[in-house]
Amino acid sequence: MSYERIVVLGGGTAGWMTAVALATGLQGTTVELVESEDIGTVGVGEATFPSIRNYHQIVGIQEADFLRATQGTYKLGIRFCDWRVRGEDYYHTFGDFGELDGPHSLWGQYRRHVNAGLPKFGEQCLPTVMAMQDRFCAPGQGAASFNYAYHFDANLYARFLRDIAIKRGVRRTEGKVVDVTRRADGGVASLRLDDGRVVAGDLFIDCSGFVSLLLGRTLEEPFLDYSRWLPVDRAWAVPCARTGTALTPYTRATALESGWAWRIPLQDRTGNGHVFSSRFIDEDKAREQLLQQLDGEALAEPRLLRFTTGRRERFWVHNVVGIGLATGFLEPLESTSIYLIQAGLGNLMPLLVPRTRVAPEAIEAYNHGLTRQFERIRDFILLHYCLTARRDTPFWNAMAHVELPETLAYKLHAWRQTGVLHQYDVEGFDGHSWLAIYAGMHCWPERADPRLSDLPLATSLDWVRTRASQLAEAVAPLASHDAYLARILGH
């Protein structure tokens, strides 16, 4: 089957990202997007992963235009507060820690000087030092390689993408899908809207959000529940006024009694949310805890979102490809949902060559690749919880004793026993990211690479100290995040 006419169902972040990618990469193919304003979108999803910069580059979006349209700010990473124990924090920023293994690994040398009064290991990363001082610059202007992402208003982002998609030829149809007609082979033939119109297509991209109208409800693709590992299942979200404090170039994730709270700085306001497990706390108490967290006055009534962590067994079935929440959700701790939208699009686009049949093997490989992505990200998110030393509430006690998926157990074992940052073939997060969490959660190997001692103690101490002072020197002249952003926006 080749695809001449593609229908995208849903106009949230997933739907419009898909529509822009299709309109840009598949000129000549008819693309129609159906959305219902009555149903609306999730409308949260304000923090991202650096891969969004690649997406913008591929579809030709300029950073300044995007930031202006979406109240966007820069994100160097995430600051985790109270995750290991109350009163302690650490950062996971998108930067490097020098060599990861072998006799010159920074962490290995660092571990030889525990009593030398060095700054925390996790701070030996350029964007972390920048984040701690609320400064920002784009890579290439500083001392070491790093990457960055953004925070933005999800509703404004969907609108921004919608304008681009329509300019590039995507047809937008407003209406609620009330019925789905099937083909003889089990695939989808057309969608019927509430006013009787029919939208037919060869390929349907299901971006209908949690309802998963085509992949889940119509094709009945099974949902694999991950809540035995990631038990959070609700979130309250509320924006609050920006206070006079500096604009932080990072998301803050603070561990609470039965979940955690996000704080996302935008130009005009701050996004906040409390992700929690209803097994451990009731909704009203969770709402109360969120409101107590706010830095400024709440700008709306908190909104409750309900979800189950997990994924569909397959992502492409017959002529339906799911993208976004229609395929699953892993909780927003590392801002990976939009990353997974992109991973889906990145794997899908090369297969959609006009007038060319997609082989079943390619569809199988597509499903296999995304399955691995979901599993790796699940493991990485779970790592943040399972290393906790907190036992002060039933939720944290349960998270400390959760039975790990085999893939994560193996990885942790390799690190603890041998100091190997084991990586699988498909990874959303590289060894530097894993190291940031290990360091932040004080999880170190029982023994280090014996070759580390090849470097004399004094030389290695000097080496480690030099790196710390180089990072401090590199960051000292940088502009504040506020000032840098104002310059990019032309204020």
Q: Which residues bind ligand FAD (CB under 6 A)?
A: 10-15, 34-36, 39-42, 44-48, 154, 176-177, 207-209, 211, 213, 235, 237, 273, 305, 307, 324-326, 332, 335, 337-338
Instruction: Provide the minimum distance between the beta carbon of 260 and ligand FAD in the complex, in angstroms, as a whole number.
Output: 11
Give whichever of 93 and 208 is closer to ligand FAD, judged by the CB atom.
208
Element (DSSP H or E) covering residue 58: helix 51-59
Record the tokens describing residue 294, joined without a space: 């706010």
Q: Which is nearer to ligand FAD, 108 or 175 (CB)?
A: 175
Alpha-carbon distance 422 to 245, whole Å? Answer: 40
Residue 212 CB, nearest distance to ligand FAD (Å)?
Answer: 9
Q: Where are the alpha helices (DSSP H) in 112-199?
A: 126-132, 154-167
Tell me how far CA of residue 398 lies from CA of 105, 277, 279, 310, in angstroms.
Answer: 34, 11, 11, 19
| C-alpha pair distances (Å), 436 with each of 90, 96, 216 | 8, 9, 36
- Closest by Cα among 185, 206, 210 to 320: 206
Least Å from the CB of residue 233 to ligand FAD: 10
Q: Return d(Cα 313, Cα 371) in angstroms, integer.
A: 8
Q: What is the rounded CA–CA span in Å between residue 479 and residue 135?
A: 6
Structural tokens at position 327: 């395929």
Minimum Å gap between C-beta 329 and ligand FAD is 6
- d(C-alpha 87, C-alpha 33), whole Å: 48
- Alpha-carbon gap, residue 451 to 104, rounded angstroms: 9
Residue among 81 and 420 whose Cβ is closer to ligand FAD? 81
Q: Residue 420 has which token pair?
A: 């190997």
- Looking at residue 289, its amino acid is Q
Phi, psi of 172 (to 5 degrees): -105, 130
Active site residues: 75
Contacts of 363 (CB under 8 A, 6+ apart): 316
Q: Is 131 exposed, middle or buried (0-12, 13-18, 19+ CB in 10 A)?
A: buried
Would you say 341 or 452 has its CB closer to ligand FAD?
A: 341
> Where does residue 271 rank: exposed (0-12), middle (13-18), buried (19+ CB within 10 A)?
buried
Instruction: Name which of 219 and 326 has its Cβ closer to ligand FAD.
Output: 326
Residue 41 corresponds to which amino acid? T
Q: Residue 323 Cβ, how far from ligand FAD at the closest point, in Å?
A: 7
Q: How far apart are CB 91 and ligand FAD at their closest, in Å? A: 17
**Residue 10 beta carbon to ligand FAD: minimum distance, rounded to whole angstroms:** 3
Residue number with CB closer to ligand FAD (41 or 70): 41
In this structure, the strands spanning 259-265 and 251-255 are: antiparallel
* Minimum distance, C-beta of residue 176 to ligand FAD, in the bound complex (Å): 4
Tokens 């039933």 -> residue: 394
At its nearest, how many Å lie between ligand FAD and the CB of residue 234?
Answer: 8
Of the two residues 40 and 60, which places its CB atom closer to ligand FAD in the complex?
40
- By the 8 A CB rule, do 73 and 134 touch? no
- Do residues 266 and 46 touch, judged by C-beta distance below 8 A? yes
Closest CB to ligand FAD among 109 and 272? 272
What contacts 259, CB < 8 A, 6 or more positions away?
232, 274, 275, 276, 277, 280, 281, 286, 395
Question: Cβ closer to ligand FAD: 29 or 208?
Answer: 208
Distance (Å, rounded) from C-alpha 98 to C-alpha 466? 13
- Between CA 233 and CA 444 the distance in angstroms is 31
Q: Is residue 172 helix, strand or coil? A: strand
